[in-house]
Copies of this chain bind each other. A is one copy, B any other.
Amino acid sequence: MAVIRGLRRRRRAAASGDEPARPRRPRRRIRLENDQRKAQLLALGQQAFSERTYDEVSIDDIARAAGISKGLLYHYFPTKRDLYLAGLRATAADLIERTTAAASPELPPLDRMRAGLDAYLDHVSRQARPFVALMRGGIGSDPEVVGVIEGVRATYVERFLDNAEGTPLAGLALANRPLLRIAVRGWIGFVEAASLEWLSRKDVERTTLRDLLVDALLASLRLGAAAGPAPS
């Protein structure tokens, strides 16, 4: 595009002397502190990526929204993916922090689970659009993006395995049993899928869903701890 523009301008200037190549007063530059600018761009990126798909958002869009040149954006974030990842990481950290804060260790185990899941569903409700977009594929199979999401999941796997110590399942050497690990990991998938379904309809109370998720976790732990097949 820029190449073509250049060509066009030269051609026009040569062919038709009617446009006097106006000196193009450059608009006044506005300098921001390094941190301010970075925070601004991060926020604008988060907003853009939560409203549109990764590749529907162009770097030029964000630069325009910030009132700066594309080159400056690349000064702060070396690639488009980095900008996306920075926003994703911030959101992930926020999610972990909120759920951690809610699930106080002083609560009885079941209440901890409930409180944690309430915080999770709360976050998911408020961030519905970007959450759905992310879970539906986000950016295409990028290793680092997958890494962030898997990191959140792994955090929860550990947390719920630990938390289970206070339940009737305590003392089972939980984390080392392969089947149990699969069951808990499966339950995380259950939570995400159930959340997406819930968001798409909202025809169930949040507390009802939360209780379903708690029950499903208890059932998963039970099934993962017992090795037996289903009764025929």
Chain A contacts to B: CB under 8 angstroms: 3-4, 7, 11, 53-55, 110-111, 133, 136-142, 145-146, 178-179, 181-183, 185-194, 196-198, 201, 203-204, 207-209, 211-216, 218-220, 223-224, 227-230, 232
Q: Is the interface of A mostly helix, strand, loop or mixed?
A: helix
Write out the residue numbers on chain B whose beta carbons fall within 8 Å of the beta carbon of A230: 110, 211, 214-215, 218
* Closest residue of B by beta carbon distance from A186: B194
Give the CA-CA distance A121 to B223 in the complex, in Å. 19
Give the CA-CA distance A179 to B11 in the complex, in Å. 67
Copies held by the complex: 2
Give the CA-CA distance A197 to B186 in the complex, in Å. 8
Give the CA-CA distance A207 to B227 in the complex, in Å. 11
Write out the residue numbers on chain B whose beta carbons fall within 8 Å of the beta carbon of A219: 216, 219, 223
Give the CA-CA distance A198 to B107 in the complex, in Å. 33
- With contacts A140-B54, A190-B189 taken as known, whether A197 is within 8 angstroms of B181 at the C-beta atoms is yes
Write out the residue numbers on chain B whose beta carbons fall within 8 Å of the beta carbon of A183: 194, 212, 216
* Closest residue of B by beta carbon distance from A53: B141
Q: List 16 A-B contacts (CB under 8 A).
A: A55-B140, A133-B141, A138-B140, A138-B141, A139-B141, A140-B140, A179-B204, A182-B212, A186-B194, A187-B190, A189-B194, A192-B193, A211-B228, A214-B230, A215-B230, A219-B219
Write out the residue numbers on chain B whose beta carbons fall within 8 Å of the beta carbon of A232: 110-111
List 9 A-B pairs, minimum CB-CB distance, nearest first: A189-B193, A186-B194, A211-B229, A140-B140, A189-B189, A186-B190, A185-B197, A219-B219, A137-B141
